[in-house]
Amino acid sequence: MTASSRKGKRIEDFEFRISGLEEPNGVSLKIFRTPRGVAGVTHFDLFSRDLVKRAELNYRENRDEVIALLSSEQLTVLVNHSALSDVVAETAWSNLELRWFIAENEDEKEWGVAEELLTAAIPTLFDLLTEFEVNTESQPVGKTEGAVTVATCGNRKRSATNRTACLRHFGAVCNACGLKPEDLYGAEGPSIMHVHHLTPLAAMESPRALSPIDELVPLCPNCHNFAHKRNPPFSPEEIRDQISS
């Protein structure tokens, strides 16, 4: 949404949808003001029961990954009108609601807070309502990566869920040089961070589930570029040694 389209409009005027989840089978996110900040609440359509059941299935089969996805001080998840943590394991989900809230501050205006909320909410909704890879390992792992897709050339598929989980764990700080893009570029800074595979995807014999914490690290674009100047890539530790030498 452009600045010109916002002119004269209040946040209460806006409702957002993920493309492909249209009425009456989808879900919308309504953004509105409160006395202390900006809130966002999901509204599942009349015929969106399949979406709710998909979220329930994701939760039952990938509990640790979904809990990690939904763990945020800004987010409250209600199942059957009760907090998710209070819902008995065997209870079938008939109603699902996600609520976000971000307090306003002196340095960020109303629309800036709304954009921050959307940046958090839309990827979370997308990941929750799409199929997770079934996790059969004894410890939590991320999404499967490394599948080859044939276009003009072969590419290795990467998982946006793994990227999100990695950055949530480590923060948007380069694991090699310590650069924090937000300090240089402001609120948009974290979006330039790269997520580096400690084991190159090209070295994987077949697609498999990756651990976003043990097998991925955030690197700034410069350090990521340098890491791949060699095969096998330089490790974050080697880059740090190179910087300090």
Residue 238's pLDDT band (cuts 50, 70, 90): very high
CA distance 157 to 142: 14
Whether residue 138 has pLDDT greater than 80: no
Question: Which pLDDT score is estimated for 46?
Answer: 87
Question: Which pLDDT score is estimated for 80?
Answer: 93
Question: Which pLDDT score is estimated for 94?
Answer: 92
Name the 3-class secondary structure at 101: strand
Residue 241's pLDDT band (cuts 50, 70, 90): very high
User: Exposed (0-12), middle (13-18) or buried (19+): which is 31, by Cβ within 10 Å?
Assistant: buried
Buried-exposed string 96-131: b where 16+ CB fall within 10 A, e elsewhere: bebebbbebeeebeeeebbbbbbebbebbbebbbee
Q: Which amino acid is at 7?
A: K
Mean pLDDT over the full length of the chain: 78
DSSP 12: G
Question: Which pLDDT score is estimated for 3?
Answer: 36
User: Is the pLDDT higher at 23 or at 13?
Assistant: 23
Which of these, 102, 99, 121, lies nearest to 110 by C-alpha position? 102
Question: Which pLDDT score is estimated for 95?
Answer: 93
CB of 199 within 8 A of CB of 211? Answer: no
CB of 15 within 8 A of CB of 28? Answer: yes
Dihedral sign from CA coordinates of 210, 62, 161, 213? negative
pLDDT in tens, 164-217: 888 888 999 999 999 999 998 888 888 888 888 888 766 666 677 778 888 889
Question: Which pLDDT score is estimated for 93?
Answer: 93
DSSP 88: -
CA distance 96 to 42: 8
What's the mean pLDDT in 113-119?
A: 81
pLDDT in tens, 215-224: 889 999 889 8
Peptide linkage before 35 cis (omega within 30 of 0):
no
Whether residue 5 has pLDDT greater than 50: no
Whether residue 157 has pLDDT greater than 60: no
CA distance 120 to 39: 12
Whether residue 113 has pLDDT greater than 70: yes
CA distance 217 to 176: 9
Is pTM beyond 0.85? Reply is no
Give the chain's end-to-end CA distance (angstroms, integer). Answer: 46
Percentage above 90 pLDDT, the chain: 20
Percentage above 70 pLDDT, the chain: 77
Which of these, 211, 197, 206, lies nearest to 141 by C-alpha position? 211
